[in-house]
């Protein structure tokens, strides 16, 4: 009797298992998954340019069309998509002032593996509740969000005037700033840099003007945010604004002592150390001649703006 019952149980189990056998999954069915649409669109000139000029050679994709679900990090302000006629001129300027110089001085085997993979373009800046105007941001080396595209004219665009150069120059600075972060996140800069001015780093950098920051040996007030930011701000400003500008900045530091007790001589020495650490870092870690890179970037910036 006991045995019989066991058989019975097995039979039930067998029925249960076999009868519930679902249809086999056939990979070919994947094509039958309904495409809800909206993820693709009829390709136009802009899409073609992006594909030919950025995706194919450098594996960098660009989203210029509005996507409600794009992760914008800490940006919560109201923003609008870019104007179409701004997209290609700005991307071309970015390519010429960022990708080309790095590839000429190093190579695509250096650049392509570490470059950010997505550029998301936004038409307006982000007007934050604090009153700050955000122009760009990046996420973990993968994505760069470029804001204020509709403000950023280049020389090739109709109605360009020299006054327009400040916005697009901010954009160049943003790109080089974020790329600088990618470099040091890959291989950290030497500890010397961390020991230059650790006491002056403050998250309250917004309380200081750029002039005050300069008197303490920072190229911008934002440089004081973190040591990492100090490092990449020096990189981006040296590259985009050039060496002549850097020397002018040093010369503009007034005599006397800053609010936080830095003398003019200390500030100049500190900025020169930062520059030379950056140059050494580029040579030793990446085998890149920084001053060569600098002159190429600066030439491209002038080509795009003046």
Partner 1 sequence: MKKLLLYGVLFLVAVSSCRKDNDHLFNETPDQRLENKLNAYREQLSGAAYGWKLLLEPAGGGAYSFYMKFDDNNRVRMVSDFDSGSAANLEESSYRLKALQQPSLIFDTYSYLHVLSDPDARVNGGEFGLGLQSDFEFFFSDSTLSDTIRLTGRVNGSKAILTKATQEEAQAYTGGNFNVTLFTGFLQKIPQYFKEFTINGRPYDLTINPNTRKVTFTWLDDQGNVHSFSSTFYYSLRGIELVQAFGADNSLITGFYNPAWSEATHTVTADLGENTTVSVEGVINPVAVDKDAARRWWQRMIDEDGYWVSLTGFRVNGVDDAYGLTDIQNFVALSFFPKYGTSGGVTYDLAGYLMDEDGQLTLSFGAAFRAPTFTADGRIRFGAYLGDLGNIPDDALDPYGNTILKMTESSGFYLVQTGDDEYDMVSASDGQSWINWFAP
Backbone angles phi, psi at 40, to 5 degrees: -125, 165
- For 54-83, b/e burial (b = at least 16 CB within 10 A) is beeebebebbbeeeeeeebeebebebebbe
Distance CA 172, CA 146 (A): 10
Q: Which is nearer to partner 1, 86 or 281 (CB)?
A: 86
Beta-bridged to residue 134, according to DSSP, are 126
Q: Which is nearer to partner 1, 83 or 104 (CB)?
A: 83
Binding mask 179-198 for partner 1 (x = CB under 8 A): --------------------
Distance CA 214, CA 271 (A): 9
Q: Are 222 and 231 in contact (CB under 8 A)?
A: no
Segment interacting with partner 1, rule: CB under 8 A, options 4-12, 138-146, 243-251, 298-306: 4-12
Distance CA 195, CA 198 (A): 6
Q: Which is nearer to partner 1, 41 or 306 (CB)?
A: 41
Among 81, 155, 157, 227, binds partner 1 (CB under 8 A): 81
Among 28, 34, 162, 163, binds partner 1 (CB under 8 A): 34
Beta strand 126-127 with 133-134 is antiparallel
Strands (E), 222-305: none
Q: Which is nearer to partner 1, 124 or 295 (CB)?
A: 124
Among 115, 137, 150, 236, binds partner 1 (CB under 8 A): 150
Q: Does 84 bind partner 1 (CB under 8 A)?
A: yes
Among 53, 57, 65, 160, binds partner 1 (CB under 8 A): 65
Among 24, 31, 35, 199, binds partner 1 (CB under 8 A): 35
For residue 300, the surrounding DSSP H or E stretch is helix 290-305
Q: Does 79 bind partner 1 (CB under 8 A)?
A: yes
Q: Which is nearer to partner 1, 9 or 257 (CB)?
A: 9
Segment interacting with partner 1, rule: CB under 8 A, options 34-42, 96-104, 158-166, 256-264: 34-42
Segment interacting with partner 1, rule: CB under 8 A, options 39-47, 199-207, 233-241, 295-303: 39-47
Structure tokens that stand for 197 in this block: 């001015």
Q: Which is nearer to partner 1, 16 or 159 (CB)?
A: 16
**Which long-range CB contacts under 8 A does 275-283 form with residues at least 24 apart?**
275/234, 275/238, 275/246, 277/189, 277/190, 277/192, 277/193, 278/189, 278/231, 278/234, 278/235, 278/238, 280/190, 281/189, 281/190
Q: Which is nearer to partner 1, 37 or 113 (CB)?
A: 37
Count of residues making up the chain: 306
Segment interacting with partner 1, rule: CB under 8 A, options 33-41, 52-60, 176-184, 250-258: 33-41
Q: Does 75 bind partner 1 (CB under 8 A)?
A: no
Q: Could you give the residue ranges of the DSSP H alpha helices within 165-226? A: 165-186, 191-194, 210-215
Positions touching partner 1 (CB under 8 A) are 5, 8-9, 12-13, 15-16, 19-20, 33-39, 41-42, 44, 64-69, 77-84, 123-129, 150-151
């Amino acid at each position: 009797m006991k045995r019989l019952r066991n058989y019975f149980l097995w039979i039930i189990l067998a029925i249960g298992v076999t009868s519930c056998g679902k249809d086999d999954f056939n990979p070919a069915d994947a094509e039958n998954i309904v495409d809800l649409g909206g993820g693709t669109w009829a390709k136009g000139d802009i899409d073609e340019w992006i594909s030919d000029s950025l995706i194919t050679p450098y594996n960098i994709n660009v989203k210029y069309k509005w996507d409600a679900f794009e992760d914008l990090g800490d940006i919560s302000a109201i923003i609008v998509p870019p104007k179409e006629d701004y997209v290609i001129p700005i991307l071309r300027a970015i390519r010429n002032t960022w990708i080309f110089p790095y590839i000429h001085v190093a190579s695509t085997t250096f650049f392509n593996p570490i470059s950010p993979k997505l550029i998301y373009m936004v038409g307006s800046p982000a007007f934050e509740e604090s009153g700050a105007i955000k122009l760009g941001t990046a996420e973990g080396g993968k994505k760069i969000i470029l804001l204020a595209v509709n403000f950023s004219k280049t020389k090739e665009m109709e109605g360009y005037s020299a006054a327009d150069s400040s916005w697009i120059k901010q954009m160049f600075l943003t790109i080089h700033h974020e790329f600088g972060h990618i470099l040091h996140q890959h291989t950290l800069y030497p500890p010397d840099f961390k020991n230059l001015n650790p006491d002056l780093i403050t998250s309250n950098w917004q309380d200081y003007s750029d002039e005050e920051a300069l008197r303490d040996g920072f190229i911008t007030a934002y440089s004081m945010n973190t040591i990492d930011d100090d490092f990449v701000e020096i990189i981006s400003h040296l590259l985009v604004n050039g060496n002549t500008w850097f020397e002018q900045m040093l010369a503009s530091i007034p005599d006397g002592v800053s609010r936080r007790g830095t003398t003019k001589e200390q500030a100049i020495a500190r900025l020169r150390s930062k520059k030379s650490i950056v140059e050494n870092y580029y040579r030793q870690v990446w085998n890149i001649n920084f001053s060569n890179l600098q002159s190429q970037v600066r030439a491209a910036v002038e080509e795009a703006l003046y």
